[in-house]
Structure 1
């Protein structure tokens, strides 16, 4: 590529941006201190040494670049406005200026009918002003600095009047403040949005977990979020970004409330911590997408889709100067783990020194892999879906086993035992096609979004459950006909087999949950080598058992074999 990209700032985001640019032979010029994180991996004479707030240095950067972008929004937007007369600035300086002031950002979103938490600006940073604001917003509330706030800096939770003075003491020196109504959220979500010249795209909705207001973990896709909420979050993120000017990648953070509604929290006009996972998990990372957007290079919606589930864990500085290196050495012991160190030298407590990303065919497997690293970083703090008793946001098992009645459960037990033998996690539910049709429809329609890969559905009598489930989900459904108290189960079998064209249901023989479990395992094994190898081991064991029986039969003869091994005379 013959385009030169100038970047204000050269920290870890710039480092990952230039790593993506190098693959496309796009030259990136950084304005930052010597030996900054980004400059360490980009060796050419076009970099500029100095502060990214220095006017002369910004003019020099613009003169040597075809487009200028930012790695951090805390820049001089009036200088960006000046250089934009001759060198394009993406995203537009007006966007960066608006987003710099978090209260103005919220006001702008409200004008465009984007839902945010109610906020009120303090006229001056005093306890008296905070008292006035709290009278309207109520307590608790979050006191925030309007500018220069990031990674928890500039935020102070005000839970009672006793916090008024400490909050003002902590943030008052920062100047302009505002109070924000406390959001009683179920979880925090984020969506990376890519705004190009002609189209706006989004990466998947992810779940973010924060520690001391610093992003600690990112789960992609978000765990326990329905397909409806996932799409609603992406649509809201794109709507929010459409309010601003210019092109590039935007990080959109939001709250999922207890009633299922969404509120925008903050927007970053650049690649974002919550999008690091895209480097390993998506065909095009957020960094490459940013380059494509600001340089008007082609981008396709499927470029932003997940290849497989991913978890990102930040490496935060600890008590020792080499704590991040110790962390990296531990991470090297884990399979399917990618380590990114940022070249920042000695660690400082709470500073982002790097991150690791784990990808796996299922979220449950990814969680199992990363669990030791989470325990290493914060022992005992987080409960994972791999736990025996996962929390409400935990990822469901790949196999969902449903039945119309608990009377079907004894038939399913042999199949469940086989799934355990094959180390395949499953969940069991009772959902009747006739007695709880709405629950059945809700479960089936959200099964894919909730992480299930295959559904085994057992039913007797009319046996409508497998077919009705298949009508509500794109996942493969395996029907297990159950022999009822009256009849031989043939009507159940035929009901499952005789589905109309366009709504397929696989069917096993009556009461044969073992074959249903094996078929589910084979389906999963098509995309999971570990499962496939365990199925192969099961097949090898079955072959061995048959050969042993044949050898015994040839050794003792038919009559004695029946008497000795089959217990018949």
Structure 2
């Protein structure tokens, strides 16, 4: 039965790699959609993997043609193509759940309907200084300004410390779709890995996470210093949140523990999660095997999700040199019960997740002693990758060729129509376009600035995608050459210049 099933995976990074390791032990065939040398493909011998982007319709359809079921190791996938192919191939978790969860604001709106406690949040509709200042008056400072989409590992977050920080915050996140979140003074950050099956929800123990610059640094499993009552509440909160979504598989749930022992959900991921890596060594069944079993309707005994012995997981980030992360791994070689996982991503980039180490011991005290030598080099890497307010890792030392084509749209909702055209440029013509949102209604000044400065950035052509009105191409054309609405309909070139 296991050998006859082909599981397709959107994405082949480190999560896909560890999922592949679990699949190999069960003789489950996995087919990866990602670039040729993706980490997950490096440990799989078969030649049936698909080369391409998990945001490209043709590539996703090609994967669907050869698989019995599709899952994802990352949320930022093309859910519209998944919706198209669901009659042909099973998709788990459901494309509806992935679509909601990949938009963090939509995720919060959805969870609020189920009574899940969260920090107060407000949507930005115009991304103006006046609007964010008004929200700041309501929520108070500091507050978190967050991108709704394409935000992870601190990317897309900005701490607005005071009213004076508002212009810089909006400038840093440009015209991405945004929302603001009330600042939470918490005692501890907790996480629970939840497994959703056809029969209900199961969960791994509650763990404690230490975040630095919005990137997970350490995970203590089980969490330290919480009462049985808090542990029970955390488990219930995580299970209730995941139960609000359709589909099967592993979900990662992060939450804040406040001083009064109440809990607020931070966010939820519809995939295997960094906070669950400890389970490979510390539990009878890892989160990766549990995900495969859940989506394939294989048995998952609750007892197999229990912790056998305390564990501490340390993330290894890229530092200032291409091999700086290896110093942490080399030091771990001398530590008893230290399991090293390097992701084979090649040369490191500053702040990039390059691997992790899990230390197990008879007691948490012993594990803390064993892990201590790893914290000094880890702290050095984290310190060099830190940015005081805007949590984007610094740019890598190399530079990509400057884009010669700019693609602009009035709203992020236009992106699903433009994806086929963007991928045509990238994969058929080898052109990596500059993509931005420049609304003629909400941000006319930025739209004019974008068009008037395009030539100085090396842009030779601007492709302006009009939605319901033609204001964007017409207004941008005043400053620069424009080709309009080439991705209308089924992606054919329509338009004028």
TM-score by length of 2: 0.76
- Unpaired runs of at least 5, structure 2: 384-497
Bigger radius of gyration: 1
Q: Is the Cα–Cα contact under 8 Å of residues 317 and 381 in structure 2 kept in the other structure?
A: no
Map of 1:145-544 to 2, 5 A cutoff?
145-173=147-175, 175-378=176-379
Counterpart among 19, 22, 25 of residue 21 in structure 2: 19
1:216-275 CA distances to partner (integer Å, 9 max, x unpaired)?
Answer: 000000010111111110111000000001000000000001111001101000000000
Q: Is the Cα–Cα contact under 8 Å of residues 271 and 287 in structure 1 kept in the other structure?
A: yes
1:476-528 CA distances to partner (integer Å, 9 max, x unpaired)?
Answer: xxxxxxxxxxxxxxxxxxxxxxxxxxxxxxxxxxxxxxxxxxxxxxxxxxxxx
Say which SS state the counterpart of residue 316 (structure 2) adopts: strand
1:73-109 CA distances to partner (integer Å, 9 max, x unpaired)?
Answer: 0011100111111111000000000011111100111
1: CA distance between counterparts of 2:327 and 2:381?
19
Q: Is the Cα–Cα contact under 8 Å of residues 351 and 382 in structure 2 kept in the other structure?
A: no
Q: Is the Cα–Cα contact under 8 Å of residues 220 and 313 in structure 2 kept in the other structure?
A: yes
- Unpaired runs of at least 5, structure 1: 383-569
Q: Is the Cα–Cα contact under 8 Å of residues 124 and 176 in structure 1 kept in the other structure?
A: no
Q: Is the Cα–Cα contact under 8 Å of residues 126 and 172 in structure 1 kept in the other structure?
A: no
Say which SS state the counterpart of residue 224 (structure 1) adopts: coil
More helix by share: 1
Q: More deviation in 356-365 or 130-139?
A: 130-139
Q: Quote how far apart the aligned CAs of 1:318 are.
A: 0.7
Q: Quote how far apart the aligned CAs of 1:136 are.
A: 1.5
* Structure 1 residues 51 and 159: CA distance shift in structure 2, 3 A: same
Counterpart among 51, 54, 69 of residue 52 in structure 1: 54
1: CA distance between counterparts of 2:283 and 2:30?
23
2: CA distance between counterparts of 1:260 and 1:243?
24
Q: Quote how far apart the aligned CAs of 1:380 are.
A: 12
2: CA distance between counterparts of 1:46 and 1:235?
41
* Structure 1 residues 21 and 159: CA distance shift in structure 2, 3 A: same
Q: Is the Cα–Cα contact under 8 Å of residues 68 and 89 in structure 1 kept in the other structure?
A: yes
2: CA distance between counterparts of 1:169 and 1:275?
35
1: CA distance between counterparts of 2:73 and 2:130?
37
1:169-209 CA distances to partner (integer Å, 9 max, x unpaired)?
Answer: 11123x21000011111010000000000021000000000
* Structure 1 residues 3 and 359: CA distance shift in structure 2, 3 A: same
Say which SS state the counterpart of residue 378 (structure 1) adopts: helix
1:123-155 CA distances to partner (integer Å, 9 max, x unpaired)?
Answer: 122211111211211111100000000000011
Say which SS state the counterpart of residue 178 (structure 1) adopts: strand
Structure 2 partner of 1:106:
108
Q: Quote how far apart the aligned CAs of 1:326 are.
A: 2.1
Number of aligned residue pairs: give it: 381
**Runs of at least 4 residues of structure 1 off by over 3 A?**
379-382
Counterpart among 131, 134, 137 of residue 136 in structure 2: 134
Say which SS state the counterpart of residue 105 (structure 1) adopts: helix
Say which SS state the counterpart of residue 72 (structure 1) adopts: coil
Q: Quote how far apart the aligned CAs of 1:54 are.
A: 1.1
2: CA distance between counterparts of 1:329 and 1:185?
35
Q: Quote how far apart the aligned CAs of 1:376 are.
A: 2.3
Structure 2 partner of 1:494:
none
* Structure 1 residues 76 and 188: CA distance shift in structure 2, 3 A: same
2: CA distance between counterparts of 1:101 and 1:50?
23
* Structure 1 residues 213 and 381: CA distance shift in structure 2, 3 A: closer
Q: Quote how far apart the aligned CAs of 1:379 are.
A: 6.0
Structure 2 partner of 1:515:
none
2: CA distance between counterparts of 1:17 and 1:284?
12
CA RMSD of aligned residues (A): 1.3
Structure 2 partner of 1:32:
34
Q: Quote how far apart the aligned CAs of 1:281 are.
A: 0.4
